[in-house]
Structure 1
Amino acid sequence: MSQQLLIAFVTFAFVMAFTPGPNNIMLLSSGVTYGFRRTVPHIMGVSFGFAFMVGAVGFGLATVFINYPVLQQVLKYLGAAYLIYLAVAIAMSGATKPEESRG
């Protein structure tokens, strides 16, 4: 990896870590609702997930998708189905009881 590319990547990662995106908004909401201690697993999941995504891209996952375009389509539809499942589960869950919200 060239030095110029590495600097661009580190700058991107730094900016993305501190700008309000969907993960940071979820963590904010979780922290306010459930407190810091119960939000720590969520924080760790976001951190490890981002690191995994960056690692997969860095190790050439795009090459796999270029060689096997069907795999990309399958993952795209499975991901969409999972997001729909999560949306339905959240919509059907109801309100959090006050005694469950603080821990």
Structure 2
Amino acid sequence: MSQQLLIAFIAFAFVMAFTPGPNNIMLLSSGVTYGFRRTVPHMMGVSFGFAFMVGAVGFGLAAVFISYPVLQTVLKYLGAAYLIYLAVAIALSGATKPDEHNSRGPMSFWGAALFQWVNAKGWVMVISTITAYAAIARFPANVALQVAISFVMAVGSTITWTLFGTALRPLLSSERAVRGFNILMAVLLLASLYPVFMDA
């Protein structure tokens, strides 16, 4: 194992996990709108879903996409359509009190886990993880190590972004302030689609 390559991969995973992207923007908005406790299933879905995707691609699913590249294109545009739907849902979300449940609610564990498969930033991270850092150990230990590090980084990132949203909650005490914040988050979520369409 190359220690330098391992350190480089940890740095890469940290930067990719903690920088803004669809997952982090939605978690920030969910923290503001629903609070930390109600966002936990969303956080865990992101963490487990992303780690599972790294493992699935690392252990052989990549061969399917190489054989059938149209599948990647289909996933990319399904993901873009779903992100547009989520942006609209976020923009229309208002504030909820701790004991109050609105009709939409935060994203579920399975919804967040499945979302990873249509998340453009997630695919960039997975492909980079598997291809650029495969030499951190011999197969299959390299994939297992990448899955473990990706999971730890995802947990840290989801907690951080949700806590940030929860910390903003008292500052956004009015319905109007939360609505304005969520509209801003929806715009940022739509902006995250820029690389998808530029790559078209």
User: Which TM-score applies when normalising by structure 1?
Assistant: 0.63
Q: Following TM superposition, by how much is the alpha carbon of 1:4 offset from its aligned partner in structure 2, in angstroms?
A: 5.2
- Structure 2: unaligned runs, 5 residues or longer: 101-178, 181-200
Give the 3 Å change call, closer, same or farther, for CA 23–33 of structure 1 in structure 2: same
Give the 3 Å change call, closer, same or farther, for CA 28–89 of structure 1 in structure 2: closer
Aligned alpha-carbon RMSD (Å): 4.2
CA–CA distance in structure 2, aligned partners of residues 19 and 93 of structure 1: 24
| Preserved contact between residue 65 and residue 71 of structure 2 (Cα < 8 Å) | yes
Deviations along 1:65-89, whole A, 9 cap, x unmatched? 1223454455456555655665677
Q: Indicate whether 1:99 and 2:99 are aligned.
A: yes
CA–CA distance in structure 2, aligned partners of residues 15 and 48 of structure 1: 18
Give the 3 Å change call, closer, same or farther, for CA 52–42 of structure 1 in structure 2: same
Q: Following TM superposition, by how much is the alpha carbon of 1:26 offset from its aligned partner in structure 2, in angstroms?
A: 0.9
| Preserved contact between residue 33 and residue 95 of structure 2 (Cα < 8 Å) | no
Tell me what 1:87 maps to. Answer: 87
Moved more, 17-26 or 33-42: 17-26
- Kindly indicate whether structure 1 or structure 2 has the higher relative contact order, using CA contacts under 8 Å at least 6 residues apart: 2
Q: Following TM superposition, by how much is the alpha carbon of 1:7 offset from its aligned partner in structure 2, in angstroms?
A: 3.6
- Which 4+ runs in 1 deviate beyond 3 A? 1-8, 68-100
Give the 3 Å change call, closer, same or farther, for CA 7–58 of structure 1 in structure 2: farther
Q: Following TM superposition, by how much is the alpha carbon of 1:29 offset from its aligned partner in structure 2, in angstroms?
A: 0.8
Moved more, 1-10 or 32-41: 1-10
CA–CA distance in structure 2, aligned partners of residues 86 and 20 of structure 1: 16
Q: Following TM superposition, by how much is the alpha carbon of 1:40 offset from its aligned partner in structure 2, in angstroms?
A: 0.4
CA–CA distance in structure 2, aligned partners of residues 79 and 42 of structure 1: 17
Give the 3 Å change call, closer, same or farther, for CA 45–95 of structure 1 in structure 2: same
Q: Residue 78 of structure 2 aligns to a residue in which SS?
A: helix
- Structure 1: unaligned runs, 5 residues or longer: none
Give the 3 Å change call, closer, same or farther, for CA 5–59 of structure 1 in structure 2: farther
Deviations along 1:2-50, whole A, 9 cap, x unmatched? 6555443322211122222221111111011111110100111111121
**Bigger helix fraction:** 1
Identity %: 92
Tell me what 1:44 maps to. Answer: 44
Number of residue pairs the alignment of both structures matches: 102
Give the 3 Å change call, closer, same or farther, for CA 5–74 of structure 1 in structure 2: same
Tell me what 1:57 maps to. Answer: 57
